[in-house]
Structure 1
Amino acid sequence: MDVVLKTDRAVFNYRGAGIWINNEHVLLHKFVNDVFGHFQGAELQLPKNRKKVKCK
């Protein structure tokens, strides 16, 4: 189940991103013609059995 928050005026799809830092450099995703980069992300999902969720 995707994490989606719906209101009368809007729909918000919750997304997460991983950040990789190596030797003081940050890994970003960038399309060929873009002048900026962004973190690679994905939609988050709730687990089917929430009792098995572990916090790290």
Structure 2
Amino acid sequence: MKETFKKRISSIEQGIMNIEVRYSVDLNLAKIVRAKRFHTSSFDISCSIFDIRF
């Protein structure tokens, strides 16, 4: 009885860990995507300014 209870707790802990890992990965991916979007938008702006000059 105690062994199954311990196993259940460890599996629950593992599930929580997996969720935390996924959440942090999602956050990092969102940061990367945002940074890329910001980079491309600023790049587009500089290109349009460059086009206006010539």
The answer to whether the superposition gives a TM-score over 0.5 is no
Q: Looking at secondary structure, tell me which structure has more strand per residue.
A: 1
Q: Looking at secondary structure, tell me which structure has more helix per residue.
A: 2
**Which of structures 1 and 2 has the bigger CA Rg?**
2
TM-score, normalised on structure 1?
0.19
Q: Which structure has more RCO (C-alpha within 8 Å, separation ≥ 6)?
A: 1
TM-score, normalised on structure 2?
0.20
